[in-house]
Structure formats: structure tokens, C-alpha cells
Amino acid sequence: MAQTINTTTKFPKVVIIGGGFGGIELAKKLAGKEVEILMLDKHNYHTFQPLLYQVATGGLEPDSIAFPLRKIFKGQKNFKFRITEVKKIIPELKIVESTIGDISYDYLIIATGSATNFFGQNEIEHFSMPMKTIPEALNLRSMILQNLEEALLEPELIRKDALLNFVVVGGGPTGVELSGALAELKTHVLPKDYPELDISQMDIYLVEGSPAVLGVMSENASKAAKKFLEEMGVTVLTDVKVEAYDGKLISLSTGQTIHTKNVLWSAGVKGQIPEGITPENIVRGGRIKVNEYNAIEGLNDIFAIGDVAAMVSEQYPGGHPGVAPVAIQQGKHLAKNLIRVVNNEKPEPFKYFDKGSMATVGRNRAVVDIGKIRFQGVFAWFVWMFVHLMSLVGFRNKVVTFVNWVWNYFSYDRGTRLIIRKFNRKSMTEEPISK
């Protein structure tokens, strides 16, 4: 067994599992404080997940939305980082078992984020494509391009239809944005790339199990998003659920079937919970139940923040929404509370400030809800772009993304339609708990 990694200073040791939005903000706010920080993650980079769909559809290269974790904390003397996969937490020993050995802690923060939720449908999980990580986005990009290349060689009509039909499952922001991006590919890019194919045969479906798309946003936003998608040629199916998918034929609750080899799954998420958290601390949606201080009940030295945490209250009976602003605010607040706890002071309860919601459907089409203010269209699209551009980590990423967007806007083109590695479903692996 690998040697236990112990604290090397007299200060309390704060171990953070996960280099997402919450984990980064927490570590940054602890800079210069009398604590020793150790961050653990399977990857050495932070991923800006809201733009993963642009990587999957050839709009951006993956390094435009990723940033090295060590570079984020360059010069922060009380910070250390290790690449590892977390295996198990042993609360009674205050130990984290990992692939690099046992790691001791004084305070442990679980900021592992979420993974795709297939709701126990194993066949659908095997044959459909998720998009929660950069490797998954690259797999999706390769699959789309490979299927288009195969369609050029396929004489049989039904099999060609299956290669050209795209079904996006889940009408949340990710599903809406991905559907819109595919529609823009169909209109502006693919006819030039594949002149031998009749791209008009390419059909895009968005399947949502609830009565409306963007159900987390206002009714105005939902109606506008559906209208935008339908104008772009997307068939929007609401109040419809997926019954089965075998890799060739998807069956819907309405009895409708669609021949397709392109099912993109964005219908739900669940928390990535390390082994060692007891089932009674896990609530609906696969999230860890925490109190108003982000502490896990009965484990006052273990905290959870972001998508993996559910702070149940009257206002948020299912916990806060799984969006970046929640993770960022919880990370900042928990940093303050940890210092209070270290100094034997009473922590303060977390209060979420909702800055609003937004989603883009495509060129000059977006929806924005800020408090009671709702607007859609071109101005909303520019607001969406500005907010996401400013939220990217690293000046270089901001510049590269901006240049790509300007080029795409004026050229009606997407420059990264590359099959870097050939997609092979058998090679797909589950993402680790530490991301």
C-alpha cells in the first residue's frame, strides 16, 4: 500500500476533491490564510463546461475551454495539487484513499460535480452519447463526423437515415444549445463539406419529458427557445420520454420510432459521490445532503459544495440548481466559514444570490432571465456571449474564444471539424469521481 501523505505544516490541512468552479473559488479565497490546501483531481485542468457543446460541434478547440490548475494557483504558497483518483473516504480515520496513497485531512471538501444520469437504463447508457467532460465532447465530435463520412458510402436508405438523424434527449440549457448548434452545422457548414450528401435529409429532434423546454427558466424564455429551434429546423417533442434505444432505433413514449445512430443524452445529472458517504446522507438526484453551512450531517469536518451538494430548504426543496454560480458562491462562502471554524468562531449560513439564467439557441438567438427582466433575441445573444467570455479562466482562452466566435459569425464556418482520434464505443471509460 502506498505511503500515507501527511500534513507538512502546523496549520490545519484542507483537502479539496475536484478542480471545478467550487473547488477553485474555495482554494483561491483561502490564499494567505493559515491553512494548508491540497487539491485532488484526475485531470490537471479545469473545464469550462458551459461551452462543451461548442467543442462537440467543432466551434472551439478543447484547450480553449480548459486551463491548467497549477497555473491558476501559481504563486499561492499554501496550495498543492496532485493528480489522482479518489477511491474511498474513511471519516473515522480522517483519511482519503486514492491511487497515490492515503491522504490525511483536517477538513475535507467534496467538490466533485455531477455526471450524466441515465436513470438506470443500461442499454441507453451504452449506446447514447453523454457530454459532461472534454473527452466525451471529443468523442461526440468524432462520432458525428465519422457517421457523416459513413453516410457517403451507405447505399441503403434506412441505414443512411440512421446516420443522418440526430436525437438530443433533454430540453435543458445543454440540450437546447446542442440542438441549435447542430442546426447551424446543417444549414451553414455541412452542405459545403459534404456536397455529395443531401443534407436536407438530416433531421434533428429534441426530446423533452416535461411539457416545455428550458423548464427551469421563465415561460417567456421557454416559448422563445422552442420558437427559435423550430425556425432553425429542429423538431421539438415535449411531454415525450425515451422508452428504449438499441444503437439503431430509438423508441419514444408516443409510440414513435426513429432510425438513428446519433443519440445525444443530456436528460439529467447526478452527483459524483465518493465511496464512504453513507446512503442516509444521499438524497434524490444522487446528491449529498448538507446543512446551511455546507457540512454533511454527522460529519462536521466534511463538506460538499456545488452540483454534488443538496442544501434542502423551503425555497429549494430539491437543493440549489446545478449551475456554476451556485458552486462559485458556495466555494467563496465556505472559505470564510472554514477560517471561522479554525478560529473557533461561529460559521454563517449560506444564502444564494440568483443572478439569473440564460441559454443560447444559435446565431442572434438567445434567452435571458434576470430577476423579473426577461428578454430574447439578438441583445440576449450578445449578453450570453459577454457573460460566458468573461467567465472563462485565463486571458488566452478569452482571446482565442473571442477570435473563434468572430470568425464563425462572419464566415458562417466552424474551423475544428477534426477527427483527432477515431471514436470507438468500446474504448469509452467512465469519468473518475475526482472530476
| pLDDT higher than threshold 60 for residue 263 | yes
Collect all residues with Cβ–Cβ distance below 8 Å to 292 and sequence separation of at least 6: 311, 313, 349, 350
Nearest one of 427, 398, 362, 392 to 142, comparing CA atoms: 427
Per-residue pLDDT, 285:
84
* Per-residue b or e along 286-323, where b marks 16 or more CB atoms closer than 10 Å to that residue's CB: bbbbbeebbbbeebeebbbbbbbbbbbeeeeeebbebb
pLDDT band at residue 429 under the 50/70/90 scheme = very low
Q: What average pLDDT does range 16-24 have in this prediction?
A: 97
Contact by Cβ (8 Å): 237, 204: no
Per-residue pLDDT tens over the stretch 166-204: 999 999 999 999 999 999 999 999 999 999 999 999 999
| pLDDT higher than threshold 60 for residue 435 | no
Nearest one of 137, 409, 161, 110 to 277, comparing CA atoms: 110
**Residue 391 CB coordination number (10 Å):** 15
Question: Whole-number mean pLDDT of the chain?
Answer: 92
> Who wins on pLDDT, 428 or 404?
404
Give CA–CA dist 269/287, Å, rounded: 10
Share of the chain above pLDDT 90, in %: 85
Domain map (residue ranges) of the chain: 122-267+356-421
Catalytic site residue from 25, 61, 177, 184: 177
Phi-psi region of 190 (alpha: psi -120 to 50; beta: other; left: phi over 0): alpha
Strand pairing class (79-83; 66-68): unpaired
> φ, ψ for residue 154 (rounded to 5)?
-95, 115
Half-sphere exposure of 8 (CA within 13 A, CB side): 8
- Given 3-state DSSP classes, what are the helix, strand and coil percentages for the chain, each rounded to the nearest 5? 35, 25, 40
Q: What average pLDDT does range 389-401 have in this prediction?
A: 94
The reported pTM is 0.91
Per-residue pLDDT, 407:
92
Per-residue pLDDT, 292:
95
| pLDDT higher than threshold 70 for residue 5 | no
Give CA–CA dist 124/103, Å, rounded: 37
CATH topology of domain 122-267+356-421: FAD/NAD(P)-binding domain (3.50.50)
Per-residue pLDDT, 6:
53
Per-residue pLDDT tens over the stretch 21-68: 999 999 999 999 999 999 999 999 999 999 999 999 999 999 999 999
Collect all residues with Cβ–Cβ distance below 8 Å to 231 and sequence separation of at least 6: none
Q: How many residues does the chain have?
A: 435
Q: Is the dihedral of CA 312, 223, 188, 408 positive or negative?
A: negative
177 belongs to the catalytic site: yes
| pLDDT higher than threshold 50 for residue 302 | yes
Per-residue pLDDT, 418:
86
pLDDT band at residue 431 under the 50/70/90 scheme = very low
Q: What average pLDDT does range 288-296 have in this prediction?
A: 95
Give CA–CA dist 308/269, Å, rounded: 10
Give CA–CA dist 322/319, Å, rounded: 9
The DSSP symbol for 64 reads G
Contact by Cβ (8 Å): 131, 53: yes
Per-residue pLDDT tens over the stretch 333-375: 999 999 999 999 999 999 999 989 999 999 999 999 998 899 9
Per-residue pLDDT tens over the stretch 75-103: 999 999 999 999 999 999 999 999 999 99
Collect all residues with Cβ–Cβ distance below 8 Å to 70 and sequence separation of at least 6: 44, 81
pLDDT band at residue 3 under the 50/70/90 scheme = very low
Give CA–CA dist 109/304, Å, rounded: 5
Per-residue pLDDT tens over the stretch 202-231: 999 999 999 999 998 999 999 999 999 999
Give CA–CA dist 246/225, Å, rounded: 30
Contact by Cβ (8 Å): 86, 274: yes
Is 92 buried (19+), middle (13-18) or exposed (0-12) by CB count in 10 A? Answer: exposed
**DSSP element (H, E) containing 58:** none
Nearest one of 211, 180, 52 to 116, comparing CA atoms: 52
Grid cell, residue 23, equals 473547488
